[in-house]
């Protein structure tokens, strides 16, 4: 049972985590989750259980560049100190970028007006160990990003996206307000970003899996649109692997953090391509 002092304040956190070794954000029995790690760190400080509330759930293996959560804590600990207090107790794959006081009515989930996800594909046929944990290495066939962008544009607006809704969700409907949907490329890296008021369970990975088929020319942008408009869930067969997906950021009308803390904190991969090999000079003996 959670215990709180009579003098409490609500604290908001901006959180980064590498999802590789987590079974998602939300607490699960017998599985390691991000929520559990942070709650354990809070309990080690306060000596009683504290529940944190996140802006959204992420699946097993999915990363977050700026997840947002809140909890209630004794007011005698300054809110801005919680970031360093928790970081001293958290494992290496979770980081609190900042903490701040918010009003008692502010809620990490219900006060949010949008979430934004980024999916990263690496298309060079040569494997690269340093990008493997954060990308889908897809090099089997060329991908045309202009076809993907053409398929994304009709998604803008409010739509019933049951075709991209995995089974097992407690959500009673599949309506989604899509605010941004874009694809871009730099060298061997291709990024797909979608911003929406909320996301369906498994939506981004199912969406990317089918968009790759569009980029390969297996299906047309028109066919892609017909499938989701007709809610043909049985035509959406493949989910993109989790490691390419990152919860990029969450938007609020009243957010206590500066943009550099949360706005775009997942670095974009790119390679420097010299015109000729760089050869280090060897000193003569």
Q: In this structure, is residue 130 part of a structural domain?
A: yes
Looking at 138-229, list the stretches that DSSP marks H as alpha helix, in order from N- to C-terminal side: 145-152, 203-216, 221-229
CATH of the domain at 83: 3.30.70.580
Q: In this structure, is residue 273 part of a structural domain?
A: no
With contact defined as beta carbons under 8 Å apart, do 64 and 19 qualify? yes
pLDDT tens-digit readout, 56-73 = 999 999 999 999 999 999
Kindly state whether residues 87 and 59 are assigned to the same domain: yes
Kindly state whether residues 94 and 132 are assigned to the same domain: no
Tell whether the model's pLDDT for residue 276 goes beyond 60.
Answer: no
Q: What's the whole-number mean pLDDT along residues 86-105?
A: 98
Q: In this structure, is residue 262 part of a structural domain?
A: no
Kindly state whether residues 96 and 144 are assigned to the same domain: no
Kindly state whether residues 119 and 100 are assigned to the same domain: no
Catalytic residue check, 144: no
In the chain, how many domains are there?
2
Q: Higher pLDDT residue, 6 or 254?
A: 254
Closest CA to 38 of 109, 101, 89: 89
Please tell me what DSSP assigns to residue 94. Answer: E
Q: Output the six-digit token pair for 67.
A: 């997840």
Kindly state whether residues 99 and 127 are assigned to the same domain: no
Kindly state whether residues 121 and 224 are assigned to the same domain: yes
Kindly state whether residues 95 and 170 are assigned to the same domain: no
pTM: 0.92
Closest CA to 58 of 110, 16, 87, 90: 16
Q: What's the whole-number mean pLDDT along residues 4-9?
A: 72
Q: What's the whole-number mean pLDDT along residues 87-99?
A: 98
CATH of the domain at 221: 3.30.70.660
DSSP 20-48: GG-S-SS-BTTB--HHHHHHHHHHHHHSS
Kindly state whether residues 151 and 212 are assigned to the same domain: yes
Kindly state whether residues 65 and 158 are assigned to the same domain: no
Kindly state whether residues 78 and 120 are assigned to the same domain: no
Known binder of ligand: residue 140?
A: no
Kindly state whether residues 12 and 105 are assigned to the same domain: yes
Q: In this structure, is residue 95 part of a structural domain?
A: yes
Q: In this structure, is residue 276 part of a structural domain?
A: no
Per-residue model confidence (pLDDT) at position 2: 47
CA dihedral 65, 71, 74, 80 (to 10 degrees): 20
Per-residue model confidence (pLDDT) at position 1: 42
Q: In this structure, is residue 269 part of a structural domain?
A: no
Tell whether the model's pLDDT for residue 170 goes beyond 80.
Answer: no
- State the Cα–Cα distance between residues 19 and 58, nearest whole angstrom: 9
Q: What's the whole-number mean pLDDT along residues 3-31?
A: 89
Kindly state whether residues 87 and 134 are assigned to the same domain: no
In terms of residue numbers, what domain contains 192?
114-247
Helix (H) or strand (E) holding 257: none
Q: 25-39 burial by CB neighbour count: b if 16+ within 10 A, else e? A: beeeeeeebbbbbbb
Q: In this structure, is residue 205 part of a structural domain?
A: yes
Q: In this structure, is residue 220 part of a structural domain?
A: yes
């Amino acid at each position: 049972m959670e215990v709180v002092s009579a003098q409490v304040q609500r604290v908001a956190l901006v959180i980064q985590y590498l999802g590789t070794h987590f079974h998602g954000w939300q607490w699960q029995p017998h599985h390691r989750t991000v929520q559990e790690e942070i709650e354990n760190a809070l309990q080690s400080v306060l000596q009683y259980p504290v529940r944190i509330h996140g802006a959204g759930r992420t699946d097993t293996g999915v990363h977050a560049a700026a997840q947002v959560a809140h909890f209630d804590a004794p007011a005698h600990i300054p809110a801005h100190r919680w970031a360093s207090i928790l970081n001293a107790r958290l494992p290496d794959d979770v980081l609190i970028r900042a903490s701040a006081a918010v009003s008692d009515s502010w809620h990490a989930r219900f006060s949010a007006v949008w979430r934004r996800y980024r999916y990263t594909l690496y298309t060079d046929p040569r494997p690269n160990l340093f990008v493997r944990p954060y990308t889908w290495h897809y090099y089997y066939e060329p991908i045309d990003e202009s076809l993907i962008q053409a398929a994304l544009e009709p998604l803008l607006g409010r739509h019933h996206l049951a075709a991209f809704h995995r089974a097992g969700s407690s959500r009673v409907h599949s309506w989604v307000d899509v605010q941004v949907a874009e694809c871009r490329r730099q060298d061997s890296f291709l990024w797909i970003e979608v911003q929406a008021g909320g996301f369906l369970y498994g939506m981004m990975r199912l969406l990317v899996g089918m968009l790759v088929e569009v980029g390969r020319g297996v299906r047309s942008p028109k066919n892609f649109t017909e499938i989701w408009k007709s809610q043909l869930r049985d035509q959406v067969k493949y989910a993109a692997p989790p490691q390419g997906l990152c919860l990029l950021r969450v938007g609020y009308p009243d957010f206590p953090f500066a943009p550099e803390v949360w706005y775009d904190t997942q670095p974009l991969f790119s390679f420097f391509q010299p015109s000729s090999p760089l050869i280090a000079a060897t000193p003569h003996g």
